[in-house]
Amino acid sequence: MYAYSYDMSFVKNRLPGYVAMPKTVEEVQQIMKMANRTKTPVIPYTAGSNIGGLCIPEKDGSIVMDMKRMNKIIRIDEESRFAVVEPGVSHAELAEELYKRGLRFGWPVGPPSASVLSCAICHGIGGITGRYGLNSEQITSMEVVLPTGELTRVGSCAIQKDAWHSLLPLPLVGGLFTGWLGTTGVVTKLGIFTPAVPPHVEIVTTATDDLQDMYKYMLEFSRYEAADDLTAVSWWLSQVPIPYPYKEKPKDAPEWNSYAVLYAYTEKELEAKVEMFERTVKNQQKNGSSLQVTQYPEEAKRARTELPSQIVGSTKNYSKQAGGGISWPGTFTPANKWVPVWEKWREIYKKRNLSPSVRVTMYRGTHYGMLRAMTPINKQYPDQVENSRMAIVEALKVLLDEGGIPYKPPVDFAKEIYSRADPGYVDLIKKVKDFLDPNEIMNPGKLWIR
């Protein structure tokens, strides 16, 4: 059970009382009915690769329900472009089958062993976020075991059992199980959109002296909606591994580096997208920007297109100098707030002798996106763990002041979020939670609404 008592984050270890490894939906139902009857807490678990402590029990005697034995790819519909998977299906396993058919999904730049289903229901991002949005926006249907043990379906599969193509035009009750941190039910099957892999691709890269110039470039280029992925990282995050403790940036090095992945179905379409990029660069430079076109290492380019990838971006590469720990304030934030948040985050991290290893990504070609700081933690030393935790909490408060919202938040984050939330919203969340989970057994404490 020790293996289920911790993750890489700053959240303190706690042993579960039990570990259950169901292989069928019926076994999940039996476990949930028993747990509901005995009021035993249940924590859904797949690969355990999240870095927010979301699968660490908050209460003694909890059941960790490890879903990895439910690992079937149930269906891949090449014409309608969707797949149906169980919780234990990893990104690597699904990628192997989809790529055989010229299809893809929003693979994150993270461990290939991570769960496709868990990433989607927790609003994970991926390599096609710039074109199609979050992985949760690619969900087409789902099957769920409720905390009381009943089985339900939402989306088209609720009307016709073999139809997994869409959540619409039905009421979007799938939202009851996405973003809830495993507190409203156990998703046992998920339908996801699987778009085609275009045959042509180009990766364009730039650098700037500050985030203001990078933001202006990304904002202008994003309006073309040309990139499948449009991301920039601070100098500290571009180092592998992240410098720990803090390391001063060389004076001649740009503070920000970016990449944009441009996919196209024809050569002419790709030429048009490259022209959009070149026009944006020319316009930014004309207006006095420090923006410069750069050359990206070929290995790094492969890591942006040959996803899921272990070349760049795995958590072990981020944190190998830091005693095996890593966490983040990962957020969805309006792009025009990136700069004021970054300037405060940089000072918070430097003051605590940590590298401000920050990433920004545009979502779906629009005005908001992801802003997060990858934070190594030396878990050998409690004082260093607490130092990193406080840096993350301080960063969170700055972010919330500017209107950003954390995702996959640890309990420390959730307390701050709900202390600021509109009372009517909190009341609604409580009512939904009480209706679905009357005995409060599903991952208790993580949502922190009480």
Could you read off the pLDDT of 142-176 as tens digits, one per residue?
A: 999 999 999 999 999 999 999 999 999 999 999 99
| Band of pLDDT at residue 448, cut at 50, 70 and 90 | confident
Tell me the percentage of the chain whose pLDDT exceeds 90. 81
Q: What is the pLDDT of residues 305-354, one digit of tens each?
A: 888 876 655 566 677 766 788 888 889 999 999 999 999 999 999 999 99
Task: List domains and CATH numbers for the chain.
Answer: 2-66 (3.30.43.10), 73-193 (3.30.465.10), 200-409 (3.40.462.10)
Residues near 189 by beta carbon (within 8 Å), at least 6 away in sequence: 25, 74, 84, 85, 86, 142, 143
Looking at residue 316, its pLDDT comes to 61
User: Over the chain, what is the mean pLDDT?
Assistant: 94
β-partners of residue 233 are: 257, 359
Asked if pLDDT for residue 405 goes beyond 70, the answer is yes
- Of 114-128, 134-148, 316-330, least confident by mean pLDDT is 316-330
What average pLDDT does range 189-194 have in this prediction? Answer: 98
- In angstroms, the CA 216 to CA 134 distance is 23
Looking at residue 64, its pLDDT comes to 98
Whether cis (ω within 30° of 0) applies to the bond prior to 169 is: yes
Q: What is the pLDDT of residues 223-246, one digit of tens each?
A: 999 999 999 999 999 998 899 999
Phi, psi of 385 (to 5 degrees): -60, -45
Contact 162, 155 (CB under 8 A): no
Asked if pLDDT for residue 364 goes beyond 90, the answer is no
Complete DSSP assignment for 375-416: EEEETT-HHHHHHHHHHHHHHHHHHHHTT-EESS--HHHHHH
Separation in Å, CA 214 to CA 156, 202, 255, 280, 350: 42, 20, 10, 12, 21
Looking at residue 314, its pLDDT comes to 56
Looking at residue 413, its pLDDT comes to 84
Complete DSSP assignment for 253-302: S-SEEEEEEEEESSHHHHHHHHHHHHHHHHHHHHTT---EEE---HHHHH
Q: What is the DSSP letter of 78?
A: T
Looking at residue 312, its pLDDT comes to 54
Cβ count near 109 (within 10 Å): 19
Looking at residue 48, its pLDDT comes to 86
Looking at residue 27, its pLDDT comes to 98
Looking at residue 284, its pLDDT comes to 98
- In angstroms, the CA 165 to CA 157 distance is 8
Give the global pTM: 0.95
What average pLDDT does range 197-220 have in this prediction? Answer: 97
Q: What is the pLDDT of residues 7-29, one digit of tens each?
A: 988 999 999 999 999 999 999 99
Looking at residue 299, its pLDDT comes to 78
